[in-house]
Amino acid sequence: MHMSWYQIILASAIILLSVALVILIMLQESKSQGLSGVIAGGAENLFGKTKGRSFEDKLVKYTKIGTGVFFVLTLGSTLLFLFFSR
């Protein structure tokens, strides 16, 4: 089975993004507060002056963006495979 150029690029991008997401997730601190901490402490982060400025907030933001890109790339490669495999 021969892979075309776009399949190689998409597969490489998915693999690199997967490794990047694992690193981003491993760098994040664990949230051990549970549900009560989320409810009580969530308002401070939402309305606080440091929203989006801390290193942890940036890691969470980049993880969400990377997850969205990963979903789009995976869905796109699946659809391309199904479309061009016929």
Q: pLDDT tens digits, residue range 17-26?
A: 999 999 999 9
Residue 85 lies in a domain: yes
Note whether 24 and 63 are within 8 A (CB). Answer: yes
pLDDT at 7 > cutoff 60: yes
Residue 38 lies in a domain: no
Residue 22 lies in a domain: no
Residue 78 lies in a domain: yes
Q: Please report the sign of the dihedral spanned by the C-alpha atoms of residue 12, residue 70, residue 51, residue 57.
A: negative
pTM attached to this predicted model: 0.70
H or E element at residue 43: helix 34-47
Banded model confidence at residue 38, pLDDT cuts 50, 70, 90: low
Q: What is the mean pLDDT of residues 6-16?
A: 92
> Residue 71's domain spans which residues?
48-86
Residue 69 lies in a domain: yes
**For the chain, what is the domain count?**
1
Q: pLDDT tens digits, residue range 43-86?
A: 555 555 555 579 899 999 999 999 999 999 999 999 988 887 76
